[in-house]
């Protein structure tokens, strides 16, 4: 991955479940983020439940650091974003994940994104440390995201500013040559003719043309043509007892 700017630090403030820390680590690594900081994890650290939930994102968990306070966790960061959907007794600029991703990619200095505990979210004192509030439009009747969902939303928007490698698409075989298509059509017509498929005679030409149009439209490759001819050969044989 070719990065633009410095990747943000993900700070989990008073996380409660090891499984959620692991899932957050997985979400981070999916989109190229590797630095996790933990503030007062409820069950201590390391947490044996985090590893299985991380599904292979061990490098994130192994590098995670633990901090006594939120202020300590972001002490080296010039740009701090607090993720919350609730109004607090603080007045801060409000940005979307997309706006935050762009700002972080262009920023000089380190950036941190704060995520609160699963049950209650960030406290007012945590939000007060931030330069901006990061939030997403969400159903007001059910404004509840789990920790990993929140992390993946933010990480994805940051990743859109980066040059992430796209998984290699499966190479497609070239279309079969006309000769192979003609052989398949001839084989099929030879099976259909004695069974009266092309009757009545008045529709013979049109039926041939329609069948040809159907079978040539997909752009079969040679393996697909060979497979279909194998099917036809099987159908032509006498049924087994």
Average pLDDT, the chain: 88
Task: Check residues 208 and 26 and name the one with the higher pLDDT.
Answer: 26
Answer whether 0.85 is exceeded by the pTM. Answer: no
pLDDT digits (tens, 9 = 90+) for 128-181: 999 999 998 888 788 778 899 999 999 999 999 987 666 555 567 788 888 888
Question: Is 2 contained in some domain?
Answer: no
Does the pLDDT at position 88 exceed 70? no
147 and 196, same domain (yes or no): no
Domain boundary among 124, 159, 194: 159
23 and 142, same domain (yes or no): yes
Q: Give me the pLDDT at residue 200, please.
A: 87
Q: Give me the pLDDT at residue 236, please.
A: 81
Task: Check residues 199 and 4 and name the one with the higher pLDDT.
Answer: 199
118 and 26, same domain (yes or no): yes
134 and 30, same domain (yes or no): yes
Domain boundary among 130, 159, 188: 159
pLDDT digits (tens, 9 = 90+) for 70-81: 999 999 999 999
96 and 47, same domain (yes or no): yes
Q: 132: domain range?
A: 9-159
Question: Is 86 contained in some domain?
Answer: yes
Domain boundary among 110, 131, 159: 159
State the Cα–Cα distance between residues 228 and 197, nearest whole angstrom.
Answer: 19
Question: Is 35 contained in some domain?
Answer: yes
State the Cα–Cα distance between residues 188 and 190, nearest whole angstrom.
Answer: 5
Strands of the 36-39 sheet, one edge to the other: 65-67, 36-39, 9-13, 111-115, 79-83, 132-134, 94-95
Report the CATH number at residue 93: 3.40.1280.10
pLDDT digits (tens, 9 = 90+) for 96-116: 999 999 999 999 999 999 999
Question: For the chain, what is the domain count?
Answer: 2
């Amino acid at each position: 991955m070719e990065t633009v700017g410095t990747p943000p630090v993900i700070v989990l403030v008073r996380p409660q479940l090891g499984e959620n820390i692991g899932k957050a680590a997985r979400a981070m690594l999916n989109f190229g983020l590797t630095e996790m900081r933990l503030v007062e994890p409820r069950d201590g650290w390391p947490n044996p439940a985090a590893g299985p939930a991380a599904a292979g994102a061990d490098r994130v968990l192994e590098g995670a650091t633990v901090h006594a306070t939120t202020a300590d966790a972001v002490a080296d960061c010039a740009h701090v974003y607090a993720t919350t959907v609730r109004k607090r007794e603080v007045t801060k600029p409000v940005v979307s994940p997309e706006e935050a991703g762009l700002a972080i990619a262009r920023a000089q200095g380190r950036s941190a994104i704060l995520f609160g505990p699963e049950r209650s979210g960030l406290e007012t004192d945590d939000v007060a440390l931030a330069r901006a509030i990061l939030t997403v439009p969400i159903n007001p009747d059910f404004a509840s995201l789990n920790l990993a969902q929140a992390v993946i939303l933010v990480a994805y928007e940051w990743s859109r500013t980066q040059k992430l490698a796209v998984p290699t698409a499966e190479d497609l075989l070239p279309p079969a040559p006309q000769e192979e298509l003609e052989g398949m059509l001839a084989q099929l017509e030879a099976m259909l003719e004695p069974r009266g498929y092309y009757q009545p005679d008045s529709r013979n030409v049109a039926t041939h043309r329609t069948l040809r149009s159907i079978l040539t439209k997909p752009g079969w490759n040679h393996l697909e043509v060979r497979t279909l001819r194998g099917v036809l050969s099987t159908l032509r044989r006498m049924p087994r007892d």
